[in-house]
Structure 1
Amino acid sequence: MPSEPHTAPPQAGPFTDIHRGNWVDRLLPASVAPYARLARLDRPIGTWLLLFPGWWSLALASPAKPDLWLMALFAVGALLMRGAGCTVNDIVDREFDAKVARTATRPIPSGAVSVHNAVIFLGLQLLLALIVLLQLDRFAIALGVASLALVATYPFMKRITYWPQAFLGLTFNWGALLGWAAATGSLAWPPVLLYAGGIAWTLFYDTIYAHQDKEDDALIGVKSTALKLGSATRPWLILFGTVTVLLWALAFVGAGLGWPAYVGLAAAALFLADQVRRTDLDDPADCRAKFNAHRWLGWMLLAGILLSPWLG
């Protein structure tokens, strides 16, 4: 696609989600770096959060011998679809992003990438993701295509509801359904329960994330659970975490997993409880750090599932 001038971002205050001097600046040409940032390649936490439900589900379907080819396909697909989702989000939210300190330096509001080129980049990512999806069976392909409705509508939810985090949960945990479908050619209660628990998990971590922007969001009219729940956020986090753990426990029971899976789940529960206790919801940097730490919960759960048939 045509290169664009690598324009300097506006001064947007000290707290920004664009960090200069990382591998994107060191290794990529100046004309390519803004697209890597648009796809959030420099911030992989979103890819992990999108990937883990799919990996959990693949492992849940066959914990003794998970399909490594499918796990690799899901990793590539998560990278591409997370990038596509971020690109859609940034196109739709470009005017809002320009008014928020944390997001004003993103490629589109800063002028580093035009909307026209962002749309072309989006099409390229979706094409590559489709190629990955076509490696699965027909049922899984149809299920994967159905998720596009969520990807397309999620960016608009913050305009119409204080619960956009619930819609993000519906979108980001779709892999819990898709993984089981790819491994078995069908659906069953364990992946459905895993999916439902994942939605509650997303409500937990993304409510913390939303507290980064609550002051700016209130000024520009964007809605979030952080604004809805306000000072009552911590009790709600307890509820979200409890529902998460209970639904995942039911998924494990339904899949017949052994005790290592429940050890992993117990570790995840302690992780959530610690975040409820220690997160400073008025400190954007701490909210970001707590959000980023959720990749460790993903590994805890995956390790427990995979060890279940060998130690349980």
Structure 2
Amino acid sequence: MTALRLKFPLYLQLIRWDKPVGTLLLLWPTLSALWMAAGGFPGWHLLAVFTLGTLLMRSAGCAVNDVADREFDRHVQRTTQRPVTSGAVSVSEALVVGAGLALAAFALVLTTNLPTVLWSFFALAVAIVYPYTKRFFSMPQAVLGVAFSFGIPMAFAAVQQQVPPLAWLLLLGNLFWVVAYDTEYAMVDREDDLRIGLRTSAITFGRHDVAAVMVLYAAYLAVWGGVGWQLGLGWAYAAGLAAAAAQVLWHFQLIRERSRDGCFRAFKVNHWVGFAVFAGVVAGLA
């Protein structure tokens, strides 16, 4: 019991408890889809399932990611002190923590319906595969985009017991957003990643990285804007998209010089882009 008490702060560090940005980046598009699927407030049960499930799965993903990247993280200044990399938490401990959190999330999914349960297996598979794609795929951020967007079809399945084409269109649009903000994140570590042989979108885009990020943001807003128009969400939703677009312009100012501090700051505040869109959805469906 004493050992567990001493290790507990390290487990919290492992799952990034003190860095909720990743959870929020997952949460806002998932809740937006939940509201769209339900045509308004989806009810407290589904709201709790998807909010807690998002938190649990993001935390589990952090544990798996740290195990997969532990050898690479030793060579990146920003990640050398992660618990698994530093040896403070063993690989087996991290996997047990990750599995426990994933099982807790699955228990929540079991309170929904069969289609949602079935889709959750695919979501889990993508989340597990993602960390390893950095070794061979020039655009691993696209795989992360699928993993970080899969709450969207699951939300529709939970409400409607099916995943309509609209949900896949939202997933595609959200994938553009994920690649955009994770490219900003990858720009922070580009020199380290080149040195150790990892592949990222920041490396793949090369000198066109800033332009590519802006195009991806524009594609995200265009797709979600088109869906909002199709659903008749009106001026309230348009105002949310406009607030998100204004933030994107600010991001351009942050990343245009490609400084580590500027790119990292752009990534860390990205959840406000998602929140602006979510607020527009809620207002549009009120």
Please indicate the TM-score interval, normalised by the length of the shorter structure. over 0.9
1:269 aligned to 2:232?
no
Task: Find out whether 1:94 has 2:70 as its counterpart.
Answer: yes
1:194-220 Cα offsets, whole Å, 9 max, x none, are 111100001110000001111110110
The 8 Å contact of residues 63 and 306 in structure 1, kept in 2 or not, is answered as no
Equivalent positions of 1:14-25 (< 5 A) are none
One-letter identity of the residue aligned with 2:236: P
Amino acid paired to 2:153: L
In structure 1, the gaps of 5 or more residues are 5-28
Instruction: Give the alignment of 1:202-213 within 5 angstroms.
Output: 202-213=178-189
Distance apart, 1:285 and its partner CA: 2.3
Superposed displacement of residue 154, structure 1: 0.3
Q: Which runs of 5+ in 2 are unaligned?
A: none
Q: Which residue, out of 55, 64, 80, partners 2:31? A: 55
For structure 1, which segment, 247-256 or 120-129, has the greater mean C-alpha deviation from structure 2 after superposition?
247-256
Distance 1:309-1:90 versus aligned 2 partners, 3 A rule: closer
Residue aligning to 2:258:
282
Q: Deviations over 1:52-110 (max 9, x none)?
A: 12101011123433323211211111111001111111111110011111100000011
Deviation track 1:264-293 (CA, whole Å, cap 9, x = no partner) reads: 112112211221233255322222211111
Q: Is the 8 A contact 1:55 1:302 kept in 2?
A: yes
User: Which shifted more, 148-157 or 274-283?
Assistant: 274-283
1:254 Cα deviation from its structure 2 partner:
2.9
Cross-structure match for 2:57:
81
Residue of structure 1 aligned with 2:134, choices 141, 158, 182: 158
1:40 aligns with 2:16: yes
The code of the aligned residue for 2:202 comes to A
After TM superposition, list the pairs within 5 Å mapping 1:168-247 onto structure 2.
168-247=144-223
After superposition, the Cα gap between the structure-2 partners of 1:117 and 1:278, relative to the gap in structure 1 and judged at 3 Å, is closer
Q: Give the match for residue 3 of structure 2.
A: 3
Aligned pair partner of 1:116 in 92, 116, 127: 92
Question: Which deviates more from structure 2 when the two are superposed, residues 187-196 or residues 37-46?
Answer: 187-196
Match of 2:143 in 1: 167
> Does 2:265 align with 1:298?
no
Counterparts of 2:257 and 2:128, CA distance in 1? 29
One-letter amino acid of the structure 1 residue matched with residue 262 of structure 2: D
In the alignment, which of 252, 261, 279 is matched to residue 228 of structure 2? Answer: 252
Q: Is the 8 A contact 1:169 1:203 kept in 2?
A: yes
Given that 1:204 and 1:241 are in contact with CA atoms closer than 8 Å, whether structure 2 keeps it comes out as yes
Q: Aligned partners of 1:68, 1:284: CA distance in 2, in Å?
A: 41
Identity of paired residues, percent? 34
User: Which residue of structure 2 aligns with residue 135 of structure 1?
Assistant: 111
List per-residue Cα deviations over 1:133-188 (Å, max 9, x = no partner). 11111111111121111011101111011201111001001111111111111112
Partner of 1:106: 82
- Contact kept, 8 Å, 1:261 with 1:304, in 2: the verdict is yes
2-structure distance, mates of 1:84, 1:305: 28
User: What's the TM-score, normalizing by structure 1?
Assistant: 0.87
The verdict on how the C-alpha distance between 1:123 and 1:309 changes in structure 2, with shifts beyond 3 A counting, is: closer
Q: 2:33·2:155 contact (CA, 8 Å) conserved in 1?
A: yes
Distance (whole Å) between structure 1 residues aligned to residue 257 and residue 61 of structure 2: 26
Question: Distance between the aligned counterparts of 1:162 and 1:301, measured in 2?
Answer: 29
Change (3 A) 1:309 1:153: closer
TM norm structure 2: 0.95
Runs (4+) of structure 1 exceeding 4 A deviation are: none
The answer as to whether partners of 1:279 and 1:286 remain within 8 angstroms in 2 is yes
Aligned to 1:71: 47
Q: Distance in 2 between matches of 1:198 and 1:2?
A: 44
CA contact (8 A) 2:254 2:266 kept: no
8 A contact 2:27–2:51 mirrored in 1: yes
In the TM superposition, what is the alpha-carbon distance from 1:2 to its structure 2 partner?
8.9
Question: Any conservation in 2 of the 1:38–1:86 contact (CA below 8 Å)?
Answer: yes
CA distance in 2, matches of 1:131, 1:39: 19
